[in-house]
Structure 1
């Protein structure tokens, strides 16, 4: 589990709390129900209005995935593919059907089943590439939704401030109350900027990054499975797959040798 999102958001709000404390203010000064309801409620509402109900549900279903951020290390994928290549060379491609029934990864399972069924290499590549493209499109929908919320939130906050300032102008006859009322009016703008930059935009960026890593994993598996189907030598296949992964994402050679 990658805690980067949780740590980042907590630190961001912690910095805000520290600023309020150092300024001699209190967090309750910005925890006003009315502007918070407007900013959160209206931002999500206009985000829903700009898409479909399915987009909305898909985006919020993706939030746990963004928080957990579970991504399989590339070396683990390479080791798995090399092991499958060794089994295919020793027992034949039909032996991969048993591996398909035991794997929990649906993408790898379908690839193994197609190989065991004798699917043509070009057709298999087309099937797997189409699945990767569909996955990318679905992930873009969730990321785009939160990106949109990040754009709407500051403007919604300004709307809330304008509405509050209109109420302030209606009470010019009570100058003693103008200061607190004006301060409260700008809380809506504050929450619009806070939610955009502390929540919605980081979520969009996180989902986009998780999607990139997942698509890289699927591409690595696709190339590996196609090589297994063509009968590639396991050691050479491992080297080829490692060449497809950035060096910083692979374990260091000395640590690997020590582990061996």
Structure 2
């Protein structure tokens, strides 16, 4: 699991619950099923109205990017490219076909397959760049679903608050029901603002960040694969690919 995401969730929820306790309140007072149903159900409905169902489903799948700690292995990818470059210089590009099964990344494997098939280096670049662009566009569209949820949730929370106050007004003659109605009204607002700023918007931004990191790695792979197709010297290719390394990996390379 992404450690930053785990820490963020714990700190955010802990601060809210802790603050409630410091004020002398009880956790049960902010656990309102009615408010939860209104805010989350209303937000989900609004999101489905705005986006096609396939996009909504894809956004749920991409939520794993905010949870999983899927670090991009730039150093490992460079090593693999250089190994292929060394092999191709000794035995030719067709020798790369024997290494296809060892390549786990579908994008990387597709690029090597294009090279083995004798595709022109420029065409290889064009094909892979189009795939990266399409993948990024689809991912960003799915991320916008979470952004939309972050925009709708506070408004739905206000709607829940109004509904709670309407319920209070209907029971003014019965003081015993006023407290519960007012609590539901305010808790709906808390759920709306809280879910937007502690869940929906952070998930959207984390997805964008992970997509950007993935695109950077794939851009490096494209450069390496084109150099491989052109028969570049492995040493020169290594220098070129090293410029794509993140700062933390560059420091390791120097040591």
The answer, yes or no, to whether TM exceeds 0.5 is yes
Aligned to 1:86: 86
- DSSP-derived class of the 1:146 partner: helix
Give the length in aligned residue pairs.
Answer: 255
Aligned to 1:196: 196
1:248 aligns with 2:254: no
Aligned to 2:42: 42
- DSSP-derived class of the 1:250 partner: helix
Aligned to 1:132: 132
Instruction: Give the alignment of 1:104-115 within 5 angstroms.
Output: 104-115=104-115
State whether residues 100 and 108 of structure 1, in contact with CA within 8 Å, keep that contact through their aligned partners in structure 2. Answer: no
State whether residues 122 and 226 of structure 2, in contact with CA within 8 Å, keep that contact through their aligned partners in structure 1. Answer: no
Aligned to 1:161: 161
Q: Give the Å deviation of 1:207.
A: 0.8
Q: Give the Å deviation of 1:203.
A: 0.9
Closer, same or farther in 2 for the Cα pair 1:166/1:65, shift >3 Å? same
Aligned to 1:100: 100
Gaps spanning 5+ residues in structure 2: where? none
| Aligned-partner Cα distance in 2 for 1:82–1:50 | 46
State whether residues 65 and 206 of structure 2, in contact with CA within 8 Å, keep that contact through their aligned partners in structure 1. Answer: no
Stretches (4+) displaced over 4 A = none
Aligned to 2:149: 149
Q: Give the Å deviation of 1:142.
A: 1.6
Quote the RMSD (CA, aligned, Å). 1.6
1:176-202 superposed Cα distances (whole Å, 9 cap, x missing partner): 653453233111000001110111111
| Aligned-partner Cα distance in 1 for 2:46–2:139 | 20
TM-score by length of structure 1 reads 0.93
TM-score by length of structure 2 reads 0.94
Aligned to 2:213: 213
Q: Give the Å deviation of 1:120.
A: 0.7
State whether residues 2 and 66 of structure 2, in contact with CA within 8 Å, keep that contact through their aligned partners in structure 1. Answer: no
Aligned to 1:258: none
Aligned to 1:29: 29
State whether residues 74 and 250 of structure 1, in contact with CA within 8 Å, keep that contact through their aligned partners in structure 2. Answer: no
- DSSP-derived class of the 2:114 partner: helix
State whether residues 81 and 224 of structure 1, in contact with CA within 8 Å, keep that contact through their aligned partners in structure 2. Answer: yes
1:188-244 superposed Cα distances (whole Å, 9 cap, x missing partner): 000001110111111101111111111111111010000111111112211111113
1:65 aligns with 2:72: no
| Aligned-partner Cα distance in 2 for 1:244–1:56 | 33
1:105-159 superposed Cα distances (whole Å, 9 cap, x missing partner): 1111111111011101111111101110111011112211101000000000000
| Aligned-partner Cα distance in 1 for 2:167–2:176 | 15
| Aligned-partner Cα distance in 2 for 1:171–1:84 | 76
- DSSP-derived class of the 1:186 partner: helix
